[in-house]
Amino acid sequence: MITAEEREAICEAREFKDVLLQKIVDYTIKRMKDNPYCRRILEGANYQEFASSPRRPDYFDENHFYLEKIYVGHNSGGAGGHCTKEIMEEDPAAPTRDAVYLNRYEQIRFLFKALEIMAERGDEAAKDLLTREIPPRPHLSEHKFMEMQKLYELYAINDPSTAKLLDTVWRYEQIKDNIRDKMFEDSQFKGDLMRLSSDIILNEVAHECSHANQMNFGTKWEAQESMSLYGKKADEKEEKNIKIVKKEAEREHKKWSKEKQIDGYCSDAIAEAGVMAHSYIAMLSVNPDKAAIAMVNDFPYAMRLSETDKMKEISEEERAAMFAMENGAYTPDAVKRQQKLARQIFTNICKEFVPKQVKKADKNAQPDYNMDGSFQEIKGSYQEYIFGSIDEYIAAIPEPGLNKERTRELKEFIAARDGKNKESSKEAKEFVAGHDGKDNSPINQMLLKKLLRKEIVLLLEELQIIF
């Protein structure tokens, strides 16, 4: 068994040390902590910074997720980001690090989108940074400046967007010190850049944290290799990906049965529909800039929606009504508005994206929400505060929907799950409240400090306290 120090060193190496990018991510996490809707997503992920969250056990737990870290990692996997139960390669039997990985190149792209918005609005510093003369981007044969560069250059031959990303990453490497210097000397520039960048990436962070919610509410997720590889492992993965692109290797799923392929594509698409509904409401809840909303609408939502069902601009009045608060909580009308929009997004993505995905397995295949994997994602995606009543959620599942047996099974599962969660939540609140029932009680403060120092171990199953 690896030591705590060895585990920490492994995890530390997976994080790409970029002060600016991590600062934006940390700012985004703080906004989520301070926002009631977003905080609930973090709580649903068992965010380990929260004293009231169940502690990660000293063994692998396939049924639950314990969000330990949200970090910017090396560019070796997971598109914009990934929610992963990271194994310790040096000791696969050790407890996973349950983490949200953010691809640094996507974070760079989002940062430049923020700069572009600022430049369009007349910010001279942003214009200068985007147009400043820099050395030409080198080819891999001249100079390697990024992970997976060989793979990106292969794609860039026929994909202008990939070529643009290569240019963007190269420009960032040349001007990142200038960006930091400008932020240091100009508080207005810093505030605008931080806020706009955060507005854009918050949807992604909430998206991946929502996947963690799915794991805690009914979806089983196996341990995986980290999406943030470096050195020899990253090089090996790059070569493997190149072979797949060149069709010199067969994808693993091709070895599966046709039924398993269909179920796999269907379940993945359902999972995406669930978190895309969840994270969109989360993004709106922080009152983001209209330009940031437009960008998120365009990517990634437009990719998974038809022209008819694509995300449309929501008026400021409607957004205000959607997040109206009274006595520190969203009003009943606000909650209904949130849930209605979430169901609409879920339905539309399922209606468009699920059929498109299953046809990758077979051009004649049709979605079947009753298959084991797909049904599991239906279960894990549902929380009442997101989608409303269980009947409203079931009605939001497009045709052919759930059969009678699965409908009954779902309702029984949700009743049992939520009943257990309520009981566990009650026990947790009693613990956190201390002896006098007040959050600021001396005993509560003492216990919270101990929790933060990891001197108290909480077993997950029933939130029992072990001394």
Q: Which two tokens stand for residue 151?
A: 């793979």
Report the candidate in 206, 207, 180, 204 with the shortest Cα–Cα distance to residue 194. Answer: 180
- Give the pLDDT score at 423: 64
Report the candidate in 172, 174, 51 with the shortest Cα–Cα distance to residue 106. Answer: 172
* pTM of the predicted structure, to 2 decimals: 0.89
- CA dist 445 → 18, 434, 436 (Å): 35, 8, 12
- Other Cβ atoms less than 10 A from the Cβ of 180: the count is 14
Task: Give pLDDT tens digits along the chain (467 positions).
Answer: 788 899 999 999 999 999 999 999 999 999 999 999 999 999 999 999 999 999 998 888 888 999 999 999 999 876 789 999 999 877 877 889 999 999 999 999 999 999 999 999 999 999 999 999 999 999 999 999 999 999 999 999 989 999 999 999 999 999 999 999 999 999 999 999 999 999 999 999 999 999 999 999 999 888 999 999 999 999 999 998 888 887 754 555 566 788 899 999 999 999 999 999 999 999 999 999 999 999 999 988 999 999 999 999 999 999 999 999 999 999 999 999 999 999 999 999 999 999 999 999 999 999 999 999 999 999 999 999 999 999 999 999 999 999 999 999 999 999 999 987 766 655 555 544 443 333 443 334 433 443 443 333 332 222 322 22
- Give the pLDDT score at 60: 85
